[in-house]
Structures are given as structure tokens and as C-alpha cells.
Amino acid sequence: MSALTGTTLLARLVLRRDRIRLAIWVLGTPLLGYALAGSVAGIYPDQETRQGYATTSASSLVARAFNGPIHGTDLGAVVVAETYVTLALIVALLSTFAVTRHTRQNEETGRAELLGANVVGRYAPLTAALLVIVGANTVAAVLLTVALAGAGLPLAGSVAAAAAIGGVGVAFTAIAAVTAQLSVTARGANALAAATVGLSFVLRAAGDVLGEQSADGTRVRSAWPSWISPLGWGNQVRAFDGERWWVLALPVALLLAGVALAYALAERRDQGAGLIAPRRGPATAAPRLLSPTGLAWRMQRGTLLGWAVGVAVLGLSMGVAADEFDDMIDANPAAAEAINAMGGGADLINAYLAAMLGLFALTIGAYVVQALLRVRGDEADGVLEAALATAVSRTRWLGTQVLAATLGAIALLLLAGVTTGLGYGIVTGDPLGQAVELGGAALLRLPALLVIAGVVTAIFGLLPRWSVALSWTALLVFLLLGQLGAVLELPQAALNVSPYTHVPAVPAVDPAALPLVVLAAVAAALLAVGVAAFRHRDVPS
């Protein structure tokens, strides 16, 4: 088949380019699964604690929304409830970005044209990318099976759970293959696919919330929206609870359909073109664009708007769910303990709210990293060179980017606190008071985000070529320390590495000025290092 000529060669190229990423993915997910399974086994060692966990999880709408439906009291079922959503989201996003990277991004940069002029069939690049990425998902699933079974879980359930997660990866591989045909830019393709991930999460959450609790109280039968979400399918396999193997056919079917659609679309369009036509725009610039600040706002506003919508929806739903939290805690001392560990303090509602605000601060950290890494993207593209050849100093340019990211972070934090407060206040009858209080509490997380901004800036100044990898790694380390550090019983010294460790968990505890001042000082030092290093280095480098 001439349309596939060169596929093997291109697949080897994909493997070569991504050998490190793929290794981290394929080895990292099983390792994470193994560690999580072990720690869950420690927290819920016997039938009695697991019975309690399952009953609470099945009756709590919050648990259903964020952990998915629980399926019985097997240790494996608890492990799945605690880990599935996180692992599935990671795998979904990794698959999505990998597909775009090896298809649309190549077209956007012109690399595909270079390859296409050689003996390479029309479908070869897409096929090569899909082969490698589906392969990576498969290998990761096999290793995850080994990891789960190795952690002492039943084999059949381990296979089902790992296949469920691999299936999510495969499903989003198919979706990304289609979005890569639609959008002209890699950014656009990723945004479309990531939006599909978000939509899948919401559909699954809705389906699980609307589902029914089984008669024995330890199971949830999801409603139909979960069935139209690729993220939901993995739960419907019911690993460790009478596995329904046939559900695994759904991601495979989606893969076949997605690939067929992607090929059909690829057939219909030119190299480099998309199906969503780019719009035209103004012939002259509005005066407000004509400064580094104006440009930074223009570059950020789309991203910021997307984040704002996501944060607001999540904030409202978490706020509304807070009230229900009391009931859940009463029924589950183990969960109470976990929440206490996350937020500390006596009042459990406040501990919950503090934990949610902490989660928002972590998530918004990703916005800060994303926003600041634009400078590096501009440098790699060559746009930075053109900009710095004008009468704008490096300090002003970088300072503007940091300022823009900081203002964005403030806006998102405030929005997170206010919407959570509104949601909680609507249920308890004091929307305005709660909005103000939680809005303020959320803003106290800003110093941690400033430290993130400082870390990215310092990396950009000192090790520009490593900016992207190191910045995301730093955030991931902070995330893992914050979310899993307590569960994994890491020493305090390790936890202290993360700026989030030092933010007072308001409203669960009283605000304290000292840690915030210290964080702000650390941030200022990191920013100063970053700017100074940037002023003294080559551009581009």
C-alpha cells in the first residue's frame, strides 16, 4: 500500500525523538500505580475499613464526581477508586499531546513537508504516530498489570484495571488523531483534544453523580452520561468486581472509527491546511496592542479565558458539594483523617474548603508555568529575537511576562475562591459572605504561585534549553509532594521543597504572615536570578 510507504521508518523516528518521554510514561505510570496501591492497602487493610470506604464513596456525590463509581469492597476496587481518575487523566493528556506532536506540529513547523517530499506515503506520518502511541499505551498497561498484581491484587482485576486505563489512552489517541486534522496549529489541536478530555470528565462525573447506589450500598450503577465519556468506560469495566471485559471493546472501536475518520479527513485536505479555516483580522493594530504589556495580554487572553471558565465551573461545583461533605465525613473516619492530613484543623468543612483551595492553587500553578513558558516558545521560534532587536530591554520584556502571569494567577485564584464561596454560600444561605471570605483565603495562596513563577523564570534564565522539561517537572514534583506526600509518608524535609507546603491552609487554620513573607522573598530572589541570567546570556540560545 503506497499510502503507507515509509511508516516503519517514521515510527522509528518517533521512537527516537520521544525515547525519554516514552520511557517516563511507560515506566512512570506503573510505578505510580504500584506506589499508590501499596499506600491504599496500608490505609484500608481490612474488610471493615473497606466496607466503610465503599459505603461512603457510593453515597457521596463528591466522591462519585471526583473518584468515579465504586464497585464493591475488594482492595482492588478501593485502589481503582482512589487512583483511576488521576491515572486516566494523565494517560489521556499524554496520548493527546504525543499525537499532536508527531502529526500537526510537524506540519506546522514544515518538518512534515521535508519528510513528505521523500518516499513517504500520505498516511505514513499519522500511522507511525498512532502505532507508537497505541503501542506505548499497550506496554504501559502490561506493566501496570504486573505492578498491580505485584502489589498483591487479584490478577484478573489487575488486567482489567490496567486495560481500562490503557483503553482511555487509546481512546484519546483516536480523538487527537481527528483534532490534529481539524486545526491548523498544534496549539489548536491540543486545545480541542484537551477540551474533549474536560468534557469527558464532566460527562463521567455527571453520569456517576446521577447514578444509583446498589442495594448493599457498596456499589454505584452509573447513569447514561458516563457511557458517552471515554473516561467513563474504564469504570464500567468494573475491575475487581465481576469484570465486564466486553466494555474494553469500546475504546478499540473508537480507535478504529477515529483512525478511519482521520484518514478520510487527511485525504480531503492539503498538507499544512486544516478544516477549521483561520479567520482574517484587522489590517492595523489597535493602540492598546502596541506595547509589551498589550502584546502579553493579547497572547494570554485566550488561555486565561479558558482557564477562567474551567475554574469557575469547578469552584461552583466544589462549593455546592461542600455542604454534603459533613454527612460523608460522619460516615467515614478514614476519609476524615485523610482530609485532616490535607488541610489540618478541627472544623471539617473548613478543612475541606482549604483542601479545595489548595487544589486550585496547584492547578493554577500549571497556568503560571504555561503562561511563562511562552517566552521560551517565542525564543525557540525566533520571535523573541525580533522583539529584542527593538528598543525594548530584556528586563522589561521578561518582567512584562512575569507580571502578566502573576495578574492572571491573581485573577484565577480570586475566581476560584469566589466561585467556591458562592457555591457553598448558596447552599448554606450566605453567598456573599462566603464569596468574600473564600476569595480572600484563595488569594493567600499567591506567594506559592509567585515561587512557581520564580522557578520558571530562573530556569529560563539559566538553562533556557531545559525550560519546558524542568519547569513542568518542578510543578509535577510539587503536585506529587502535596497530593501523595502524606499518603506515601515522605519525610517533612522532602515535603518542605514544595512552596505549597508552607501556605497556611486558610480557612482551616488562621492566616500567618511569616510563611507568606518568606515565600514572597524566595520568589523575589528567584525572579531576580532569572532576570539577571537572562540579561547576560545569548538570545537565542
Partner 1 sequence: MPVISIGNLVKTFGAIRALDGLDLHVEQGEVHGFLGPNGSGKSTTIRILLGLLRRDSGDAQVLGADPWRDAVRLHRRLAYVPGDVSLWPNLTGGEAIDLLGQLRGGLDRRRRDELLHRFDLDPTRRCRTYSKGNRQKVAIVAAFSSPVELYVLDEPTSGLDPLMEAVFQDEVRRVKQAGATVLLSSHVLAEVEALCDRVSIIREGRTVESGTLTELRHLTRTAVTVETARPVTGLDALPGVHDVHEVDGRTHLEVEPAHLDELLGQLIRFGVRALTSTPPTLEQLFLRHYGDDPAATATGAAAVPASPGPATVGASDVDAQADAPRGGAR
In the complex, the residues that contact partner 1 under the rule CB under 8 A are 108, 184-185, 278-285, 289-292, 295, 298-299, 302, 381-383, 385-393, 536-540
CA–CA separation, 14 vs 414, rounded Å? Answer: 42
Specify the residue, 82 or 108, whose C-beta has the smaller distance to partner 1. 108
Give least dist CB 400 to partner 1, A. Answer: 11
Give least dist CB 281 to partner 1, A. Answer: 4
Give me the residue label for grid cell 513558558. Answer: 373
Give least dist CB 462 to partner 1, A. Answer: 15
Specify the residue, 49 or 185, whose C-beta has the smaller distance to partner 1. 185
What φ, ψ does residue 212 adopt, rounded to 5°?
-110, 145
Half-sphere exposure of 196 (CA within 13 A, CB side): 25
- Got the DSSP string for 368-382? HHHHHHHHHHHHHHT
Contacts of 257 (CB under 8 A, 6+ apart): 174
Specify the residue, 196 or 400, whose C-beta has the smaller distance to partner 1. 400
Specify the residue, 16 or 536, whose C-beta has the smaller distance to partner 1. 536
State the CB neighbour count (10 A cutoff) for residue 48: 10
Give least dist CB 302 to partner 1, A. Answer: 8
Specify the residue, 275 or 386, whose C-beta has the smaller distance to partner 1. 386
CA–CA separation, 342 vs 331, rounded Å? Answer: 19
What φ, ψ does residue 413 adopt, rounded to 5°?
-60, -45
Specify the residue, 16 or 280, whose C-beta has the smaller distance to partner 1. 280
Specify the residue, 184 or 519, whose C-beta has the smaller distance to partner 1. 184
Specify the residue, 162 or 375, whose C-beta has the smaller distance to partner 1. 375
**What is the grid cell recorded at 443?**
488569594
CA–CA separation, 282 vs 239, rounded Å? Answer: 55
Give least dist CB 418 to partner 1, A. Answer: 30
Give least dist CB 393 to partner 1, A. Answer: 5
CA torsion, points 453, 456, 462, 464, in degrees to nearest 10?
-140
State the CB neighbour count (10 A cutoff) for residue 394: 17
Q: Are 132 and 11 spatial neighbours (Cβ–Cβ below 8 Å)?
A: yes
Check residue 238 and give left, alpha or beta (phi > 0: left; psi -120 to 50: alpha). Answer: left
Give least dist CB 111 to partner 1, A. Answer: 14
State the CB neighbour count (10 A cutoff) for residue 268: 10
Give least dist CB 381 to partner 1, A. Answer: 5
Give me the residue label for grid cell 531545559. Answer: 466
Give me the residue label for grid cell 471485559. Answer: 245
Give least dist CB 112 to partner 1, A. Answer: 15
Q: Are 27 and 147 spatial neighbours (Cβ–Cβ below 8 Å)?
A: no
Report residue 127 CA to chain centroid gap. 26
Specify the residue, 20 or 283, whose C-beta has the smaller distance to partner 1. 283
